[in-house]
Each structure stands twice: as C-alpha cells, then as structure tokens.
Structure 1
Amino acid sequence: MSKVLMKGNEALGEGALIAGCRSYFGYPITPSSEIAEYMAKKLPKLGGAFVQAESEVSAINMVYGASSAGKRVMTASSGPGISLKQEGISFLAEGELPSVIVNISRGGPGLGGIQPAQSDYFQATRGGGHGDYHIMVLAPASVQDMMDFAIEGFELADRYRIPVMLMAEGTLGQMMEPIIVREPVTDFYDKSWATTGCKGREPNIINTLHLPQDEIENRNIYLANKYKEIKANEKRAETFMTEDAELVVVAFGLMFRIVKRAVIEARKQGVKVGLIRPITLWPFPDEHIKKAAETAKRFLSIEISMGQMVEDIRLAVNGKVPVDFYGRIGMTPNPEEITQQLLLVAEKEGA
C-alpha cells in the first residue's frame, strides 16, 4: 500500500475503482464535480463505462439498469441533484439493487450555495422518496474515510442488496490530505439474481410493481425485516472520552474533527465532556447514545445545519436528559467557537 496526497472527491472515486466499480452515471454539480471528472478519466482505461447523462433523473435510472445487470455502479451529486434522483432511489431500494450514491453536500434549501453544510441529513436518513424504504448512509470525516467508505459502501450494498449513500460536506470533498491507497478488492458477492441472460436457467425478473394487495404488503414486510436486520448489525459510531462525561456532544463528518479539538480544550478547563461520532447516519447509532445517557447529564448536537440530527438524538435519549443544539450554516465553526459553546452549555443546570 502506498501513501499519496489526494483530494477528497478524488479519493472517493479511487475507492470506488478499488472496490470494482466499473460503471458511473452522473451529471456535474458543484461541489461534487471532481468525482465525475475523475471517473471520466479513469474508467475508460479500465474497460469501464462513464456516461454524463442529460439529467440527474436519467443518471439514476442508468444506475438502476447497470445494477440490474449485476455491475458495481456509482453516481454522485449534491443536494439539488439528489432531490431529482429520489424517485429512482426509491425504485432501487424496492428492487433491492445495490449501488453507491454520493452526496457532496452544499447549503440549501433551493439552489442554496456551495458552502459547507450538513442540512441534507433528513433527505438522506428519511429516504427522501416515496414509500416505506431505507437506504444505508455513511458519513466520512477524512479524506482517508472518503476512500475507505467508498470501498465499504459497495461491500454493504452487495451484502444487503440495498443502495448505500455516502454523505460528505463540500469542504471534505475539496480538501487534500495524505492517505493510504488500499489494495484492489478481488472477492465479490455472487449475484445469481442479476439479469445477465437466462440461457439454461429460469429468467430473472426485477420488478417494483405489485398490484395485488397481499403481494405489496408481503413485499413491504419482507423489506421491513431486512431493515431490522441492518439495524441490528450495522449501527456504527466512534466514541471519545465518554466514560465519565457529564456533557456528551454528538457530531458527524467533518464537524467531528473540529469538535474533538474543542472537547480536548474543554477538558483542560475542567469540563467533563465527551464526544460521539455517528458513522452510520442510517441506521442511526442510538444504542451508543442510550449508553452515554445512563451517566451523562446533558447532550449537545453540533451540526452544520439548523438542527436535524438533534431529533434523532432526542429520540434516543427519550427524555432522560436535556438535549441542546448548536449549528451554523454555510460556514464551519472553528474549535475556539465550539469550546465556548461547550463551556456555556456546561454551565446550565444539570450539566
């Protein structure tokens, strides 16, 4: 394994290639466009397929087709583009078609701006499209994560036959860090369900239309049971100094790194503060929150949004202790600003 300096978006693209992705369909939008550029440059040399579709709607339906044929396939966009893909993502989820969907987030709502944001949290974790479905959501916090989570995303997608989203802030997509380049994946899942031709066997059919009442209900029950299995097996989080923490901060993605520095500084000033980083945004690591709530006196959600993940924290805490929120949008607060917030929250009654 070699160590190189890479931009986050490029590291994610390289991770997809390492994972065996040979099909990419997308439409450029800042701040995700470098992923498309990287895949356009690399895929033809590997015998892969790159298509800049005429729209995000076209791109996500091309993903549906390639995944149906058993290919490891990826698309990438930012908030407005992901919104346009939502119908297709719902179809992918119902068809149990593994795929990796990348959202390099920008501010919103509407056209918003290209400044850093985490305000697509609801869009990612609540499905965004129609029907009873979920997708898995991973939140990288470093350029190394961008590569590693791309590889892991394809693994999870194939294991559970589910779309997996990687959601990262625009800052993380643009920043450069030294990373270790992983070895190529050589072990792949059998996809006997794929529509690859049926000579000598019964044909495979991938269909999302279920008109009979019992058929659509049974299908939804089946999917719900799969989501329960994912919840039981795949909740992931990183904890830092939570063992004796009276104030527990929750932050994901790039914010985790900033908050970690602030936690260390607040500890120096006598505040018993700890940190939980959700790695999977869905399934949300509520067990980690519940465990910390057994001893903590207060929680604080810090987000680059006006407050979205804080709702999942409150659900996990279930009223046992207060949950505060601090957020900015369009800018990333620095460690000194966060440290002051930790000290202010720690002064409140019960912290």
Structure 2
Amino acid sequence: MSDEGIQLMKGNDAIAEAAIRAGCTAYFGYPITPQSEIAAYMAKNMLEKNRIFIQAESEVAAINMVYGASTAGARAMTSSSSPGVSLKQEGMSYAAGADIPLVLANVVRGGPGLGSIAPAQSDYFQSTRGGGHGDYYNIVLAPKSVQECADLTYLAFDLADQYRIPVIVLADGMIGQMMEGVVLPPDRSLKDLPKRNWTAGHLPEREGGAGGPAVHITSIFLDPAELEARNKKRLIRYEEIKAKELRFEAVGYRTACNEFTGEGPDITLVAYGTSARIALGAKKLAEKEGIKVGLFRPITLWPFPYKALAKVASTGKPLLTVEMSEGQLIEDVKLSVYEADPSAPRAPVHLLAHSGGVIPTEEEVFEKVKAILGGAS
C-alpha cells in the first residue's frame, strides 16, 4: 500500500487509478452507464502521464485496440458495462486464443438487452464461462468494496501477465458508483513491469548469435490437431491457475490453511460483490436473535473455490445463495455441494434472487434465513 493515507473515492475511479498505478500504458474504451467514470478518469489521467487513451468508435473497436496494443507490449485495458461487454466477446475469445494478457472491467447493469442502468450481477455466466466462442476461460475477480476495486484491479494486471490470459474485474453499478475510503496501492514504475519476450516482432535469442524467427501472434490454426494441441496446452495453464489463484472469504468459520474446522453455523449465505455486503448485514440481524449464520464469499468467480465451499457443505447445514441474478451463482454452489464428502449429509441449497436492477435487502435475506430454519434459532 502507498503512504498517502485513506482517500474518499468512487469505485469506478478506484478501478481507474489502480490500473494506472499497476502500470496500464494503454486504455481503450467507450462510455456506457454505470461505468463511464472509468473512461473519463482515464481520459484525464492517462494523457497527463503521456500514456495512451483512445475513446474508440465502438466497443468492438475498443477490444480489438486492446488486443493490438497488448501484442505490441502495452499493459492494456478496457472497461464497459453489460451490453457493451457483450460486444467485446469476439475480441476476448481472440485474445484467449492467442494467449494475450489484458484487463477488462465490467460494471454490471440490469439485463438482458439494454435493460436498466441499475446494479445487477446477471453477467456471471458470461464472465465465468468464457463469454465468447471456443474452449477458454478468463480469470474473474469480484470486489465487494471500493478498496477491493483498487486492490483487485492492481492484481488483475499481474495475473494477466503471469498467465497470459484475459482478466475480468466484475463489479456492479452499486460498487462502481458508491464512495468509500480507500488506501491506494503504490505507483509502479514502468521500468519494473514484467518483461515480455513474446510480443509481436520479438526476435527470440538463440545460442550462437542472431535471434529469430520473429514472433507471430495469431489465434488461427487450420490444422485440427495443431489447434487441439494448443487448446490442451492452455488447459494445463488453467489447471495451474485453479491450484494457485483461488481466493475467497469465509466468515463465521474457523479456518486453517483453507481447511474448515468445527461444526460451523446453522446456515451459510453464499454471495459476492454487493450481495455479499447485504448478506453480511443479514448475518448481523440473525445473530441478534441467536441464529448462527456463516458467509462464504468467492472472490475469484473463476476459478471458483469449489473445494473450499464443499468443506462448508459437508456439514450438511443449508446454504442460501443470495444473488442479483435469476440463479447463476447457484449453479456453482450446487457443483460445490457435489464436491463434498459423499458420506456426509447432502447440504440443501436455497436461492434468494433478484434481477433487472432490484437489490435484495438485509431484512429480506434475514426473513428467508428464518423461513429455511423454520424459525428456530
């Protein structure tokens, strides 16, 4: 963390400032509510640092500019909101197919279609299941606060470079627009950024003298066997990410080395982002009446922490998924239950869902908890 102390910032501004401090050297975007402040912030501050900012003519153009800039060596980023991110999906698939690192911030709004400009979480499937065509994944980081908007965006650039993969920072309209105190990460010198020896035109060093041939970056492989081999090689990298980059928060459980100990609470809420903030408030309401409630918050939505949540499910106590979408996160919660010890009682999974920009309340979640538990504390 920097030594500048706490600053009051909007979530969108924290994403943008953290990107600059992480060494983002090229930003390409297009305004769309509720993420337009990211583009506006970058327009002012990137140019002041003599870095590249372009407001593209469309979201399609923006993602392809990011692709090109990254292949040339830039730490490149774009941002948008739900329908705009849909337009970027072909470019995201091309980036994955060519192993191009990039960062995309999606500040989600209600859908489908143009929908509303209110907060939602209905892009979960799009983000965690690739979104475009082909066999690929993106790393997906889900902040629940303005502080995490900064921290996870900063992290996103390093993960993108380390694994040569697109990384999505998946926020929502409430987190993007709210203002909170934040301690910003340090301003990284561009000289300290990871070296890229794979960029277009690079001449690899060879024993005994001159390098070559020059690196050619592409995602087209017309030989089916060659394409399958590339895909399988990428899957090995995905397995490495699953092993090393899982992130989650468990509240109400004693944990040691990600192993859950003790019987735990009467019920566990599973939520991310804004929904996790609401679930935490409902947990406090329940505890006033003597009901023990846990909260499991995935921070990496891909890779999803299946085994960690399976430990929770192994208690057999009910799980309540709270989400601002009509049952998307719950699919991964159910998969986690099937990861649980087969000799343990199967934990029942319940859903409290809203969509279109409707936000659940703490009281509503608490009432659902009481209904599931039959009113018993």
Q: TM-score, normalised by structure 2?
A: 0.90
Paired position in structure 1 for 2:351: 325
Aligned residues: 350
1:346 aligns with 2:351: no
Which residue matches 1:180? 183
Within the candidate set 64, 67, 70, 2:67 is matched to 64
| Structure 1 residue 154, shift from structure 2 partner | 0.2
Aligned to 1:189: 194
Aligned pair 1:55/2:63, yes or no?
no
Contact 1:246 1:295 in 2 (8 A): no
Deviation at 1:271, TM superposition (A): 1.8
Check conservation: 1:69, 1:194, Cα contact below 8 A: yes
CA contact (8 A) 2:28 2:65 kept: yes
Deviation at 1:235, TM superposition (A): 1.3
Q: 1:258, 1:295 → 2: CA distance? A: 24
Equivalence for 1:307: 327
- Give the gaps of 5 or more residues in structure 2: 205-209, 255-263, 341-345
Cα displacement string for residues 124-151 of structure 1 (whole angstroms, at most 9, x for unaligned residues) = 0011100000000000000111111110
Task: Answer yes or no: is the 8 Å Cα contact 1:22–1:73 preserved in 2.
Answer: yes
Contact conserved, 2:314 with 2:347, CA < 8 A, in 1?
no
Residue 242 of structure 1 contacts residue 248 of structure 1 at CA under 8 Å; is this kept in 2? no
Alignment CA distance shift 1:98-1:118 (3 Å): same
The answer for the alignment partner of 1:209 in structure 2 is 220
Structure 1 residue 190: Cα displacement: 1.7
**Residue range with higher mean Cα deviation, 240-249 or 117-126:** 240-249
2-side partners of 1:307 and 1:16: how far apart?
A: 31
- The reply on whether 1:223 has 2:234 as its aligned counterpart is yes
* TM-score of the superposed pair, with normalisation by structure 1: 0.96
The answer to whether structure 1 residue 335 and structure 2 residue 347 are counterparts is no
- Partner of 1:145 in structure 2? 148
Letter in 2 for 1:231: K
Gaps of 5+ in 1: none
Q: Quote the Cα distance in structure 2 between the aligned partners of 1:100 and 1:274.
A: 32
Match of 1:238 in 2: 249
- 8 Å Cα contact 2:315-2:347 kept in structure 1: no
Which amino acid in 1 is paired with 2:266? Answer: E
| Residues 103 and 165 in structure 1, CA contact (< 8 A), matched pair in contact too | yes
Deviations 1:181-215 (A, max 9, x none): 22112432221001255495311111111111220
What is the 5 A alignment of 1:1-351? 1-2=3-4, 3-186=6-189, 187-195=192-200, 198=203, 201-202=211-212, 203-243=214-254, 244-318=264-338, 320-329=346-355, 330-347=357-374
Amino acid in structure 1 at the alignment position of 2:98: G
1:13–1:196 Cα change, 3 Å: farther
Query: Over aligned residues, Cα RMSD in angstroms?
Result: 1.6
Give yes or no for contact 1:271–1:346 (8 Å, CA) kept in 2.
no
Mapped to 1, the partners of 2:238 and 2:48 lie a distance apart of 37
Q: 1:234 is matched by which residue type in structure 2?
A: E
Q: Kindly indicate whether the alpha-carbon contact (under 8 Å) linking 1:22 and 1:46 is maintained by their aligned counterparts in 2.
A: no
**Does the 8 A contact of 1:247 with 1:296 survive in 2?**
no
Give the 3-state SS of the residue equivalent to 1:50 in structure 2. strand
Q: CA deviation at 1:277?
A: 0.4
Aligned partner of residue 103 in structure 1, secondary structure: strand
Q: Give the deviation of 1:347 after TM superposition.
A: 1.6
Deviation, 1:334, is 2.2
Aligned partners of 2:201 and 2:216 also within 8 Å = no
CA distance in 2, matches of 1:286, 1:271: 26
Paired residue type of 1:191: R
Paired with 1:284 and 1:54, the residues of 2 have a C-alpha distance of 35
Change (3 A) 1:68 1:104: same
Counterpart contact for 2:9–2:182, Cα < 8 Å: yes
TM-aligned CA deviation for residue 69 of structure 1: 1.1
- Code of the residue aligned with 2:88 in structure 1: it is K
- Following the alignment from structure 1 to structure 2, what is the Cα–Cα distance between the partners of residues 201 and 10? 43
SS of the equivalent of 2:88 reads: helix
User: Residue type matched to 1:301 in 2?
Assistant: T
On the 8 A contact 2:154/2:185 being kept in 1, the answer is no
Which residue type is aligned with residue 196 of structure 2? K
Distance between the aligned counterparts of 1:348 and 1:91, measured in 2?
52
Identity of aligned residues (%): 48
